[in-house]
């Protein structure tokens, strides 16, 4: 048997050609269709040489004699096709729907593929009873539709995005899994127990355990129940009220009652409010400060301020502390005792002992015919000094009136008042007849001439006082000799118009 073979799905109104030996032959096929009862749409067409009949054999081996099959399949059958065909009259065209079902024709010898898109139209009616999405089944009836919300949920690109869309983001909306939460879930919820970490796991703790762990042991760390506390808790909390005991219970007392109970009655037992005390209360409590009135308010004053205000300036008004003065203060003030140094400390001696110490003998009266300082005096001198006599120079502060004490020094300097006239006054208790005083008068750093008013007991040559030199920082020097019998001081000009 010689036959050609061809694999096909369907053969209609075509010609089948093959090679038989060296000669070509043609077989005309009219409306040849694959029988509907065959196992598949594939098979073999062949012609037997014995009867020249066209036969079809399908994959299962079934053979159909097409020459006697009655002229092929009918053309008015209800076929399902992918497109309309002019030779058919009752065919149905299989078409897809937008965004729901798509049909892909694989062509001859290919497959026809039906597929559902990822995004199913939310308005489409799903007729299936069960829809499976991602391994989950959703049962729907004929009227059920997938909402816009459900469509958006299905279209999420990941599980994490879907959880966020549902408001179930792990760590933001819902609690993430944690081994310690597993610890807690494994605990038994017994009455009056608490959950506490022991450093490794969460464990159950009794109320007593927790109080100890928190440092709240009743009677040790916190107050235990007491009926007195119940009394206090029952009191009404009125403004400015206090709690006091009446000997049996705790009761509420007003501010006035409490002040009376405590003997703190304002104006009787304690100081009433005073604005001066408010001044004092507002002062800063700095070290070594004092409170002093300035005539209007109470103010803070330093130690130096107070010494000046009290006229107790150390070294000016009062004696500065000295270790040797401590020696003197420790001495006994015996009658007629004399203080002298022994080379280490100050001691006291009687008059006789003192005279003996200075080599004047022990007689009760000593008279000097002459006296030498730094040398042996001649018999013709009362006092003879080998060297110079130095007197302290006292500088007197500027003022409209300056007081000069002759007893403090023999040489004084006065800076004239830049505001006008300077009046000079002697400290009369310091005047000693025969004493000499040298006085320097200095103009301030001004160009204007300033005047001096001298004491009324001063006498100038020819009765005319000198004119004070003018010019910035110019100095005049004058000398005065006290005559006690005349109660006057004779004055003379030593020099004038000295430059500084």
Per residue in 258-307, pLDDT (tens digit) is: 888 889 888 889 888 888 888 888 888 888 899 999 888 999 999 999 99
Q: Is the pTM of this model over 0.85?
A: no
Q: Which residue has the tokens 């030199």?
A: 469
Nearest to 291 by CA among 278, 221, 418: 278
User: CA–CA separation, 412 vs 398, rounded Å?
Assistant: 13
How many Cβ atoms sit within 10 Å of the Cβ of residue 47? 21
Instruction: Give residue 86's pLDDT band: very low, low, confident or very high (50, 70, 90).
Output: confident
Exposure of 7 by Cβ count < 10 A (0-12 exposed, 13-18 middle, 19+ buried)? exposed
**Do 445 and 473 meet the contact criterion of CB atoms below 8 Å apart?**
yes
User: CA–CA separation, 138 vs 218, rounded Å?
Assistant: 60
**Do 196 and 208 meet the contact criterion of CB atoms below 8 Å apart?**
no
Burial 362-373 (b: 16+ CB within 10 A, else e): eeeeeeeeeeee
Q: Give the range with max mean pLDDT: 60-74, 209-223, 387-401.
A: 209-223
Pairing type for strands 298-302 and 338-341 reads unpaired
Q: Which residue has the tokens 């409170």?
A: 291
Q: Where are the alpha helices (DSSP H) in 7-93?
A: none
Mean pLDDT, range 225-243, rounded to an integer: 88
Q: Which residue has the tokens 């029952």?
A: 234
**Do 292 and 306 meet the contact criterion of CB atoms below 8 Å apart?**
yes
Instruction: Give residue 495's pLDDT band: very low, low, confident or very high (50, 70, 90).
Output: very high
Contacts of 435 (CB under 8 A, 6+ apart): 406, 410, 481, 482
Taking the CA of residue 455 as centre, how many other CA atoms within 13 Å lie in the half-sphere pointing to its CB?
19
């Amino acid at each position: 048997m010689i036959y050609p073979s061809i694999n096909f799905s369907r053969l209609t109104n075509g010609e089948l050609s093959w090679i038989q030996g060296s000669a070509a032959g043609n077989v005309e096929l009219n409306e040849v269709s694959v029988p509907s009862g065959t196992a598949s749409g594939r098979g073999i067409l062949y012609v037997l040489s014995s009867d020249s009949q066209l036969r079809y054999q399908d994959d299962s081996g079934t053979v159909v004699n097409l020459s006697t099959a009655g002229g092929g399949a009918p053309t008015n059958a209800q076929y399902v096709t992918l497109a309309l065909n002019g030779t058919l009259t009752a065919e149905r065209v299989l078409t897809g729907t937008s965004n729901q079902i798509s049909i892909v024709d694989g062509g001859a010898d290919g497959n026809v593929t039906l597929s559902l898109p990822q995004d199913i139209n939310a308005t489409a009616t799903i007729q299936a009873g069960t829809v499976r999405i991602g391994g989950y089944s959703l049962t729907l009836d004929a009227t059920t539709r997938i909402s816009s919300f459900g469509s958006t949920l299905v279209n999420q690109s990941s599980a994490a995005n879907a959880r966020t869309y549902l408001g179930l983001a792990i760590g933001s909306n819902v609690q993430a899994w944690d081994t310690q939460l597993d610890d807690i879930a494994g605990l038994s919820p017994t009455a009056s127990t608490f959950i506490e970490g022991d450093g490794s796991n969460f464990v159950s703790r009794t109320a007593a355990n927790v109080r100890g762990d928190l440092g709240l042991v009743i009677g040790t760390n916190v107050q235990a129940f007491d009926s007195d506390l119940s009394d206090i808790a029952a009191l009404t909390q009125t403004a400015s009220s206090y709690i006091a005991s009446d000997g049996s219970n705790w009761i509420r007392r007003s501010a006035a009652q409490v002040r009376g109970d405590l003997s703190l009655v304002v104006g009787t037992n304690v100081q009433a409010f005073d604005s001066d005390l408010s001044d004092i209360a507002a002062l800063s409590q700095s070290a070594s400060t004092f409170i002093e009135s300035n005539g209007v308010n109470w103010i803070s004053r330093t130690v130096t301020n107070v010494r000046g205000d009290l006229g107790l300036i150390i070294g000016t008004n009062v004696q500065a502390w000295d270790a040797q003065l401590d020696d003197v203060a420790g001495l006994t003030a015996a009658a007629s005792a004399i203080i002298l140094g022994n080379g280490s400390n100050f001691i006291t001696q009687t008059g006789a002992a003192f005279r003996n110490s200075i080599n004047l003998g022990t007689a009760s009266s000593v008279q000097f015919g002459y006296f030498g300082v730094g040398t042996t005096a001649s018999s013709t001198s009362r006092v003879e000094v080998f060297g110079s006599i130095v007197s302290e120079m006292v500088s007197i502060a500027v003022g409209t009136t300056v007081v000069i004490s002759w007893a403090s020094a023999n040489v004084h300097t006065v800076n004239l008042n830049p505001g006008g006239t300077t009046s000079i006054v002697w400290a009369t208790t310091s005047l000693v007849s025969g004493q000499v005083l040298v006085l320097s008068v200095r103009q301030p750093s001004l160009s204007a001439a300033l005047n001096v008013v001298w004491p009324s007991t001063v006498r100038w040559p020819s009765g005319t006082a000198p004119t004070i030199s003018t010019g910035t920082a110019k100095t005049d020097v004058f000398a005065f000799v006290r005559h006690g019998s005349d109660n006057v001081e004779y004055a003379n000009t030593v020099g004038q118009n000295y430059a500084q």
